[in-house]
Amino acid sequence: MTTLDIVANAQRMVAPGKGILAADESTGTIQKRLDSIDVPSTEESRRDYRQLLFTTAGAEAQISGVILYDETLRQSGSDGVPFSKLLWDKGILPGIKVDAGAKDLAGSRDEKVTEGLDGLRERLAEYVELGAAFTKWRAVIEIGASMPSRACLEANAHALARYAALSQEAGLVPIVEPEVLMDGGHDIERCAEVTEAALQLTFRELFKQNVVLEGMVLKPNMVVPGKSCEKQNSVREVAQMTVKILRRHVPSAVPGIAFLSGGQSEVEATAHLNEMNCLGAMPWELSFSYGRALQASALQAWRGKAENVPAAQAAFAHRAKMNGLARHGEYDSSMEPDAA
């Protein structure tokens, strides 16, 4: 695949009105999701759950791509059609999470660095054969009394850049995800400070590794106060602070920014995205790459029962539609089914 193809796919991933479904939960994480609805986590139950999401009628109107886990990319639906082919046939790009998770950073007691670069070139070649069009790598940055350290930020930025360069070499669009976690009691200003540092170092490293910015998608956190912070800022304040930081540090060559939801509720994540898209013209598309914020209602509606699939798909279709509207700044909370 040429650079032109990578650029075209990156633009397709952040097409107006569309966003990305993050369905790349690890086996351990998806087990927690299924435990919450009293469904045993088996290969079959995991397949059935992902299948109901992927086969939702009309979802392709708002979903441009789906991030898959290694197991899921290798799976087929109950009709024998590989999930990657099912998605391609619907006009949705299949992607794959390629990092090996956040591990303890040597020399630091509490910080993490994401691993998975060893053997990545060979794995990427296999994922291309399995039908993937893009990749994802997540860095985890925690805010604490003396965190993050410069060493943590630099190590994660370097790994993100090396991963992105390898992905583009393989003809795949990299989603670059430097996530500043919501956990903690820090205020929005502290989140802004750390997010700025993470973005600044990440783009410095991307430049060093000759990553084509037009052929990547950034997946950052929104700038929000910690979950246990006494002051929780308004939707407007979060939107303004987030856009302010992005304008400072994200080059306009990047085609789109697909936010992670980071533990926000479905409605919160949609409202924040909508507000940002109400702030006027941006140099990049402001999109979404949500996991729980697209799936939570669908999971609760499904509860592992075949007869509940239509209700679960309706819940997923609704969330996709709400976020599609938020991409144009046209969402309103009165559109929610439980609105007063």
The catalytic residues are 177, 219
Q: Contact at 8 Å (CB) between 15 and 217?
A: no
Taking the mean position of all CA atoms in its chain, how far away is CA 224? 17
- CA-CA distance, 12 to 7, in Å (whole number)? 9
Helix, strand, coil % over all residues of the chain, rounded to 5: 45, 15, 35
Phi, psi (deg, nearest 5) at residue 71: -60, -45
C-alpha distance from residue 121 to each of 117, 156, 161 (Å) = 8, 19, 14
Q: Are 96 and 136 in contact (CB under 8 A)?
A: yes
Query: Coil, strand or helix: which one is 26?
Result: coil
Distance CA 152, CA 196 (A): 14
Q: In terms of Cα–Cα distance, which of 100, 91, 99 is closest to 65?
A: 91
Question: How many C-beta atoms surround the C-beta of residue 274 within 10 A?
Answer: 23
